Amino acid sequence: MRSPWDPTTDEFAVVWYDTRLDSPTYVRTNLYGTILSPYAAPFMYEESIAIGQSDATTAMSPMDYGDYIGVCFYGGVFHPAWSDNSATGGPFSIYTASVTVRLGH
């Protein structure tokens, strides 16, 4: 079973939805991620992961936005899975990506 902890690097992957690019309404989100390392500064470089902004108000979904998000991390590469409607503008789809955040980036 995989987890957000990478046993090969002893680092943790963290992903989150963020509204910082949607001023002044703060409704649309982008997915960001980073790693936490016991050998470096508390937070590494933040990586924008999603291809665009998702908008829960146009999702037409009874599911709670943000409840279904996860990440696996192994071999220095993490793989988030998240709900996103940036490509459709309507219903959510599930996306994934392979992300490498380098120390000292």
The greatest distance separating any two alpha carbons of the chain, rounded to the nearest whole angstrom, comes to: 44
Distance between CA atoms of residues 78 and 69, nearest Å:
13
* Residues of the chain where predicted confidence (pLDDT) is lower than 70: 1-2, 41-44, 62-64, 102-105
pTM: 0.85
Q: What tokens appear for 97 in the block?
A: 């990506």
Q: What is the pLDDT of residue 89?
A: 82
Are the C-beta atoms of 92 and 103 separated by less than 8 Å? no
Q: Report how far apart, in Å, the C-alpha atoms of 31 and of each of 9, 14, 40, 68, 81 are.
A: 23, 11, 23, 13, 10
